[in-house]
């Protein structure tokens, strides 16, 4: 169903494909305005690397805080009644 230059995908429940996506598209990078050929529209590979380096943060391990439910309601007499 898919050829070498396009990818076809089926959304399910239908009788055919929903659409085709070209394997590679030529577009202008919205960040640096350089014409690039990539599969999806967006920042080019160079800009994505720069963004990851400047915007990425290191993961920090944190201790889990024990859950303490709020007591907004006073228990009723029936629930506290001893048999």
Tens digit of each residue's pLDDT (9 = 90 or more) over 56-65: 777 788 888 8
Q: How distant is the alpha carbon of residue 4 from its chain centre?
A: 27
Does 28 score more than 70 pLDDT?
yes
Q: Which helix (H) or strand (E) holds 81?
A: none
The CA radius of gyration of the chain, in Å to the nearest whole number, is 27
Q: What would the mean pLDDT of 48-71 be, rounded to a whole number?
A: 83
Strands 6-9 and 19-22: antiparallel
Q: Provide the β-strand partners of residue 26.
A: 37
CB 6 within 8 A of CB 23: yes
* Distance of alpha carbon 38 from the chain centroid: 19
């Amino acid at each position: 169903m898919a050829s070498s230059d396009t990818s076809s995908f089926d959304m399910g429940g239908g009788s055919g494909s929903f659409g085709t996506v070209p394997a590679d598209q030529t577009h202008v990078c919205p960040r640096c305005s350089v014409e690039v050929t990539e599969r999806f529209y967006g920042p080019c590979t160079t800009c994505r690397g720069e963004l990851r380096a400047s915007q990425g943060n290191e993961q920090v391990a944190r201790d889990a805080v024990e859950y303490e439910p709020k007591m907004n309601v006073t228990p009723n007499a029936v629930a506290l009644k001893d048999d």
